[in-house]
Amino acid sequence: MGVPMADLPTVTGERPGRLSRLLRPLAFMSLPTAVLVLLFLAPMGILVYFSFQFGDLTGSTGFTLTNFTDILSDPLYREIALTTFQIATIAMIAQLIVGIPLAYVLAYKAGRFELPLLLALVLADELNPMVRIYAWRMLLGREGLINEALMSIGLIDVPIDALLFNKFSVIVVLSTSYLTYTVIPIYASMKAVDAGLFEAARDMGAGWFTTFRRVLLPLIAPGIFIALLLVYVPLFTDFAAPTLVGGTTGYMLGNVVSDLVLENGNLNAGAAMSFLMLLAAGLFSLVAYQLSRIKQGAK
Amino acid sequence: MITLSNLTKTFGDSTAVNAIDLEIANGEFFSMLGPSGCGKTTTLRMIAGFEEPTSGRIELAGEDVTWTSPKKRNVNMVFQNYALFPHMTVRENVEFGLKIKKLEKARATERIERMITAVRLEGFESRHPAQLSGGQQQRVALARALVNEPAALLLDEPLGALDLKLRKEMQLELKSIQQQTGTTFVYVTHDQEEALTMSDRVAVMNGGNVEQVDDPRSLYEKPRSEFVADFIGTSNLLKVEVETWDGDIARAGLGDGLRITCRESGDRASAKTITVRPEKINVHAGPVDPGQGSLVRGRIIENVYLGSMTQLIVELSTGERLIVHELNDDSGGPSEAGTEVYLSWATDHSFVIEGAAKAPDQQAALPAGAESL
């Protein structure tokens, strides 16, 4: 049975014209773009706008750089920035020291426990941050579990105060808060590395450290850089942990922003500080991304 | 020299390697051949040090290395999937072992270059493994292991991942590299042709046991067990009752005045089966005097033209079937299906071996059809 001639033009007529073929993807993208602009870029724009202003939206005083010069010339802020950098870096290194062996066990040694362990790692991250931080306070505090335990076995007579409300406790809480995001990308990159390579290295006389440094580490470098990208920036800007366990010595840049805005009501200074942190984070991400690409290119 | 004594490896309840003894001479191309699960790879990995034996001893050049770490053993391994370091160039891969041994730079460079030339990889030094073909990767793996000048090179099915044509080329190349360097090669394979082509001696393994260690010709011509006879090439197995022994020649009757004579090979007490290769059998239209050899009668039931030869399947009066290969050179006897024929073969071409009544797991390992043909 033949196709009626009249049907043919409609079939060809449905083929989209050149213009509509170009427009169609744009139409698909318009909604997400609108959402992104509205919810993400607009507040960001307002933040940047405020950082170059005095006063709020109603009482604008025009363009100024004072917000930035005030921050950059204040030695106190410089000191806090240094503390923040120190805490974030130590917490990152601590996570790598724990995270890489953990990822190794997950990827190569866990066997049938691989999936349950992975699940446990993800669930650990699902814990509400407030609950986690308060749990750490109960562990590290004057009457916390650690002090109680040490006193009951007679190792110490008076509780150690150095465990809580300082840099140390901030580092401990931050390290444990982001461990999941450190381990998962490293674990994923290890899954792509054939464990037979370790045997080959051993066969040629390499010890475990040489095998790690010369075989495993270069191959999982992309995973490590992704972990840095995912974790280091949030570490740098965190303010919940320093607020709750930081005391006076564990005060970080995130606290500065929240105090400037919430305590002092100085929206402009807070915006300027946020903008500077955004720049630093952007710069860091760019470097980490480039490094991960260089390593991947070498494959 | 590598000496394995009473070497055993068990995984839980199953015995992978069952108290084997082997001696591998210096400069020898030695193969371990067998079906998968026969324990050949486990044995190799024990020599390399990647598996610890359950019991027994491994000696390397007279030194007991049973409990020595693989990095301290003077042997190197070529892995089945090559295990090349993907982030290193060809040169860096080859260099790896020497860097670890902290060999003096000038000597290291000289050795690396000599090795790269030996495996014909000049010009590929700065490539990464992913940019090489399978055969080239294989040669990098060889160079990376051989550059360490090991007392023995252990190869775990190194040609398994290559296609047939490349595999044939690499067989010859492996053999020539082995002869050039004079290194002892211990080669694991399930491919009998590969083992026969390259090896000085072959150990045929089955179910964790060594069935026979011999040079390729003896393995084919004088198999000592039913398993070896069947695993290496095509073989006819006939069940017989030995009537008399005349020196090392066994005589058995098949009724009808027909007789079988064959050489002793293996344990006389359990001798229940004889083997004869298909190409050793002559076909005659009528009874002939076989001299000292064997003569049986049967009927051709199948005739398959194979180009250079014709394969006949002949059913004996006992109901057993023999495969016969006749060269297509016009000199052969009758080959029409249904024809009554006489088959003869020389005493030296047939051997009495142990009967099939061995361990049941070994029975299961026999390929299908081993019983009926």
Q: Which DSSP string corresponds to A66-105?
A: HHHHHHHH-HHHHHHHHHHHHHHHHHHHHHHHHHHHHHHI
Cα–Cα nearest to B294, from B351, B235, B334, B339: B351
Residues 176-195 of A with CB under 8 A from B: 194
Q: Does B85 touch chain A (CB under 8 A)?
A: yes
Lowest mean pLDDT across B38-42, B110-114, B307-311: B307-311
Q: Which residues of B touch A206 (CB under 8 A)?
A: 71, 96, 100
* Half-sphere exposure (Cβ direction) of A92: Cα atoms closer than 13 Å: 20
Nearest 5°: phi and psi at B152?
A: -150, 145
Residue A50 contacts residue A268 (beta carbons within 8 Å): yes
**What per-residue confidence (pLDDT) applies to B255?**
59
**What per-residue confidence (pLDDT) applies to B266?**
62
Q: Does A212 touch chain B (CB under 8 A)?
A: no
Q: Which residues of B touch A202 (CB under 8 A)?
A: 50, 69-71
Q: Is A226 left (phi over 0), alpha (psi -120 to 50) or beta?
A: alpha
Cα–Cα nearest to A105, from A93, A92, A94, A118: A118
Q: Does A209 touch chain B (CB under 8 A)?
A: no
Nearest CA in chain A to B71: A205
* Single-letter code of the amino acid located at B323: I
Q: Which of A201, A203, A219 sits opposite B87 (nearest CB)?
A: A219
Cα–Cα nearest to B314, from B279, B277, B348, B339: B339
User: Could you count the other beta carbons within 10 Å of the beta carbon of residue A8?
Assistant: 10
**Domains annotated on chain A, with CATH:** 63-296 (1.10.3720.10)
B81 contacts A205? CB cut-off 8 A: no
Question: What does the pLDDT average to over A149-155?
Answer: 88
Mean pLDDT score across all residues of chain A: 86
Assign A113 to helix, strand or coil: helix
- Whether the per-residue pLDDT at B270 is higher than 70: the answer is no
**What per-residue confidence (pLDDT) applies to B367?**
40
Q: Which residues of B touch A219 (CB under 8 A)?
A: 86-87
**What per-residue confidence (pLDDT) applies to A171?**
93
Residue B280 contacts residue B298 (beta carbons within 8 Å): no
* DSSP 8-state class, residue B349: G
**What per-residue confidence (pLDDT) applies to B241?**
78
Question: What does the pLDDT average to over A224-241?
Answer: 90
Cα–Cα nearest to A47, from A254, A281, A238, A272: A272
Q: Which residues of B touch A292 (CB under 8 A)?
A: none
Query: What CA dihedral angle connects B64, B66, B68 and B71, to 10 degrees?
Result: 110
Q: Does A205 touch chain B (CB under 8 A)?
A: yes
Nearest CA in chain B to A193: B86
Q: Which residues of B touch A208 (CB under 8 A)?
A: none
Q: Which of A197, A218, A298 sits opposite B83 (nearest CB)?
A: A197
**What per-residue confidence (pLDDT) applies to A184?**
95
Q: Which residues of B touch A218 (CB under 8 A)?
A: 87
- CA angle (A29, A33, A39) in 5-degree steps: 155
* CA B346/CA B279 separation, integer angstroms: 12
* CA A145/CA A153 separation, integer angstroms: 12
The separation between CA B9 and the C-alpha centre of its own chain, rounded to angstroms, equals 21
Q: Which of B70, B87, B96 sits opposite A218 (nearest CB)?
A: B87
Residue A94 contacts residue A167 (beta carbons within 8 Å): no
| Min Cα–Cα distance to chain A from B368, Å | 34
Q: What is the pLDDT of residues B245-262, one digit of tens each?
A: 887 888 887 656 567 887
Parallel, antiparallel, or unpaired: how do β-strands B75-78 and B309-316 relate?
Answer: unpaired
| Min Cα–Cα distance to chain B from A191, Å | 14
* DSSP 8-state class, residue A210: H
Q: B267: which 2 tokens?
A: 């344990």
Q: What is the pLDDT of residues B114-155, one digit of tens each?
A: 999 989 899 999 999 999 998 899 999 999 999 999 999 999
Strands of the sheet containing B75-78, edge to edge, are B75-78, B152-156, B184-189, B29-33, B201-206, B209-214
* DSSP 8-state class, residue A4: P
Q: What is the pLDDT of residues B75-122, one digit of tens each?
A: 999 999 999 999 999 999 999 999 999 999 999 999 999 999 989 899
- Whether the per-residue pLDDT at A175 is higher than 50: the answer is yes
Q: B73: which 2 tokens?
A: 């053993």
Residue A231 contacts residue A241 (beta carbons within 8 Å): no
A298 contacts B83? CB cut-off 8 A: no
Cα–Cα nearest to B299, from B310, B312, B311: B312
* CA B318/CA B366 separation, integer angstroms: 23
A200 contacts B85? CB cut-off 8 A: yes
* CA A178/CA B253 separation, integer angstroms: 84
**What per-residue confidence (pLDDT) applies to A16?**
60
Q: What is the pLDDT of residues B317-348, one digit of tens each?
A: 778 889 999 888 876 677 788 888 988 888 88
Lowest mean pLDDT across B32-36, B188-192, B331-335: B331-335
Token pair 């170009």 is at which residue?
A: A22
